[in-house]
Amino acid sequence: MKTISLLFISVIIFFLSGCSYKGGVISVKPYTVNFLSFSKYAQSVYLNKFQDERIHKNIIAVVTDNKGNNLGYSTTQTNFSKWYDVAIKKALKANGVIVVKSPDKASLKISGKINNIIATFNKSDLTKENLTGFISLKLIIKKGNTTITKTISEHINKYNGISVSNQDFKKEIKTLLDDSVRMIVKNILNVK
């Protein structure tokens, strides 16, 4: 009887350890250009660095229970200020925008603030959307004496089954990042 009990306990421990979240580092791939189908843009743009104002810049994904308790997290070594700088320049140039190196030569001066980049998996919720992602940015566009401030936010909510991996987080975060770049560029191109 003791052998069966020990075997049963061993199987339970093996199963639970295999289902627990292991965390790790998530690397984010560079932005891939998608054309927004705008014609050649008549204004030149100077892009100032986006400031990363998140408190925990290295935490990008969290696993929680239904009470919001942190069961694990994933980190990143991606410098999102640099990531957005490269991504926005690529997207602007792909849409015919002249990106200049000096603010004196630009008709538009662009800057921004990264407020939030996070994906969360609720391990306790097995019946509905249990993987969420959220990005929030502030876009600041200066044209002469006029300043336009826009809040860019992207959300993802989906059902992800009973477990999550870094690959699941990576895919959703990359989608959010790419969508936010498209929204930033669309807002820049809409300035008349």
Reply yes or no on whether the pLDDT at 11 is more than 50: no
User: Which has more confidence, 169 or 102?
Assistant: 102
pLDDT on residue 117: 95
pLDDT of residue 9: 47
Average pLDDT score, the chain: 84
Segments forming the whole domain that contains residue 93: 2-189
Asked if the model's pLDDT at residue 170 lies above 70, the reply is yes
- State the helix-helix crossing angle for 166-189 and 80-94, rounded to 10 degrees: 50
- Spell out where the chain has E strands: 24-25, 44-52, 59-64, 70-75, 98-100, 108-122, 131-143, 146-158
Q: Is the pLDDT of residue 169 over 50?
A: yes
The tens digit of pLDDT for each residue in 107-143 reads 999 999 999 999 988 888 777 888 899 999 999 999 9
Report the C-alpha gap between 23 and 137 in whole angstroms. Answer: 26
d(CA 48, CA 96): 19
pLDDT band of 41, cuts 50, 70, 90: low
What pLDDT is attached to residue 2? 55
pLDDT reading at 7 higher than 50 = no
CATH number, domain with residue 145: 3.40.50.10610
pLDDT confidence of 36, banded at 50, 70, 90?
A: low
* Domain count of the fold of the chain: 1
Residue 167 has a pLDDT of 84
Tell me what pLDDT residue 136 has. Answer: 97
How confident is the model at residue 43, as a pLDDT?
81
